[in-house]
Amino acid sequence: MKDKKIGWIGTGLMGNPMVKHLVNAGYKVNIHNRTKEKAVDLIEMGCNWFETPAELAAASEFIFTIIGFPNDVEECYFGEQGIFKGFKAGAVLIDMTTTKPSLAIKIAEEAGKVGVEFIDAPVSGGQLGAINGNLSIMIGGKKEVVDKVLPLFEVFGKNMVYQGVAGAGQHTKMCNQITIAGTLIGVCEALIYGVKAGLNLNTMLESISKGAASCWSLDVLAPKIVKGDYSPGFSVDNFVKDLTIGLEEAEAMQLSLPGLALVKQLYISIQAMGKGASGNQALYLALEKLANMGPQSDLNN
């Protein structure tokens, strides 16, 4: 496998550490990113830089993408300088972006027409999971193709689960984001309640994070909120994108998800506060404002 030519498009918060795991495992990686500055450290590690997705695709056998929004993914694959303009016959395309299930199906259908394979494999675990190499990967596509890619997933992932046909990985990621949306509002309201009740928040978290309320958001995001740390492991802007996809897919299936709709509106209010680049734990700020709480410093009691 290590003699295969790997291409990677998207070297931001998630992609950058994922590529580093591949390089450190002995793989040679071709890279492209819209902003070359975000790939300089990877180039210095020995990665080969390509100016366009098409040029990278022409030199790669396994092509990974983990980029921004659905329109970015569509342009990366179908644009004038996109992957489908430069691919090698028999290549495997793997999109790890969280995007529309319908777009994953569209890419898979085009791949089938031109003699390449496609897998949708969105991830969960945020930047910390990417850095630590323990991402959860939700995979859709042909099982025999997924099996070929598993050795690469194992370099930066810990929990790889095959979900079914193309698009199933993206639908599973929507389930993941809907769950996070619901649990995070509970975490934030618990902290607000704790402040009002005069509790030491770190002591309170020590108790509830080990009981029935235990979850990733309590373990990772709640301590950040207590410290007033709203730096992004996953940004508000990206989370709004995901929640929008979830609501659009739910509408297409004639589902009503009122909790998800509420959380999206709260996140839109955070964007209106000019904090779209903050981490998604900034949900606390919107709820704090609604609750008429005192300043952020009150958290550190």
* Nearest in space to 102 (alpha carbons), one of 167, 176, 169: 167
Query: In the annotation, is 241 catalytic?
Result: no
Q: Per the residue annotation, which of 100, 173, 264, 275 is the catalytic one? A: 173
User: Pick from 76, 287, 104: which is nearest to 188 by CA?
Assistant: 287
- Rounded to 10 degrees, what is the CA torsion of 220, 224, 225, 227? 150
Helix (H) / strand (E) element for 135: namely: strand 135-140
User: Which is nearest to 98 in space by CA: 279, 271, 242?
Assistant: 242
123 strand-pairing partners: 137
Angstrom distance (rounded) from CA 106 to CA 267:
29
Q: Which residues are catalytic?
A: 173
